[in-house]
Amino acid sequence: MNRSSLSASSSASSATSASSHPLAPYGWDGGWEAEFAPYAEQGLLPGRVVRVDRGQCDVVTPSGTVRADTEFVVPRDPMKVVCTGDWVAVDPEGSDPLYVRTLLPRRTAFVRSTSSKRSEGQVLATNIDHVVICVSLAVELDLGRIERFLALAMSCASGEALLHESAAAPRFGAQPVVVLTKADLVPEPATLAHLVQDVETTAPGVPVLTLSAQAGDGLDVLVALVGSGTSVLLGQSGAGKSTLANALLGEDVMDVRAARDVDGKGRHTTTTRNLLALPGGGVLIDTPGLRGVGLFDAETGVGQVFAEIEELAEDCRFSDCGHESEPGCAVRLAVETGELPVRRLESYRKLMRENQWIVAKTDARLRAEIKKDWKRRGAEGKAAMEAKRGRRW
């Protein structure tokens, strides 16, 4: 048998071994098996974090779910804190107490900025394949918020914000999908179609599904989508995430409370991030409702969400055009001709400024460049106004 045949045979054997592994329902595969090999030689057990709570975490292992201490994996960097979805190496069964000894390199991570003045990132879920953005049709659509969620989701998909910068760590993508929940509250098909079209325009190239978890309408499409890999449910309180999670799980696992009639806002029934294996295949991470969704190093995601603006910008006269008062701006021309909605441009500017400011807080050189650019733009704007009034320098 030649070398290539041996390699193919070894790969097939590894894949078969991974598929029959007790952790296969939780996403274990040949890649994770290879990453874990050095720790297996040390007698440690592989496991996936299903819940984190005050320095302790629940980890599902080949021997069952155990409670483990995270004392040995408490870094100063908040981006490396143990999170739901992480694959870890834990002490073998019988150890007392049990400790998480190390985290395996993350494939993807969904990160938002915290409310901290230090502009730190907060990892909400890791090793995810689908980002399911839940939006309630019980209240008026907030397209800007959807764009914000998508920017973060697409930054996750681009392989940013990983635990380790390692060439050996595979950089798989995460597929975003927008789910319009409580579709039964919009009985008119024409109205529902109009809402879907608005969201599709906001989320170019992203699947947009309508769903009523209580009635079961549209659930089969989502079940097929999340039937493989790991999916995370994101959205505001009251978006119907817990109801949707129960529908996907086929039983009432998550607590559900009704949203307020006054403004459609929900109550925080989910207080921790929980990882659950779906009966038809796939893994689900349910998260608490998000009041704030701050960007964190999401320039790539913003560019993908507003791909049409990035494409138009290639025809601007200046490569660093801010699409405000510069002559020869192709983006502003598209707004004037009706090709580009002004709301899209305003949202793009807002998210780009926010992301730039967040990054600048930790980068002194970039912060100085931003201030210099603001002064230049201010001077240009003043000169333009003076010229308009007929007073030239």
For the chain, what percentages of helix, strand and coil (3-state, to nearest 5) are there? 40, 20, 45
Structure tokens at 9: 């045979």
Are 358 and 336 in contact by the 8 Å Cβ rule? The answer is no
Q: List Cα–Cα distances, 254 to 230, 244, 250, 365, in angstroms.
A: 18, 9, 11, 47
- Please classify residue 114 by burial: count the beta carbons closer than 10 Å to its beta carbon, then call 0-12 exposed, 13-18 middle and 19+ buried: middle
**DSSP code at position 118:** T
DSSP string computed for 213-263: TTTTBTHHHHHHHSSSSEEEEE--TTSSHHHHHHHHHTS--S---PPPTTT
Displacement of CA 171 from its chain's centroid (Å): 14
Q: Per the annotation, where are the binding residues for Zn(2+)?
A: 316, 321, 323, 329
Are 234 and 149 in contact by the 8 Å Cβ rule? The answer is yes
Are 90 and 47 in contact by the 8 Å Cβ rule? The answer is yes
Spatial distance between the Cα atoms of 272 and 25, rounded to a whole number of angstroms = 21
Phi and psi angles of residue 302, each rounded to the nearest 5 degrees, phi first: -60, -45
SS3 134: strand
Enumerate residues 6+ apart whose C-beta is below 8 A from 270.
Answer: 241, 242, 254, 255, 286, 287, 288, 289
Q: List Cα–Cα distances, 205 to 199, 246, 297, 321, in angstroms.
A: 11, 28, 22, 26
Q: Is 271 left (phi over 0), alpha (psi -120 to 50) or beta?
A: alpha
Of 35, 124, 53, 56, the residue nearest 85 (C-alpha): 124
Q: Per the annotation, where are the binding residues for GTP?
A: 181-184, 235-243
Spatial distance between the Cα atoms of 309 and 283, rounded to a whole number of angstroms = 35
Q: Per the annotation, where are the binding residues?
A: 181-184, 235-243, 316, 321, 323, 329
* Burial state string for 265-283 with b = 16 or more CB within 10 A and e = fewer than 16: bbeebbeebbbbbbeeebb
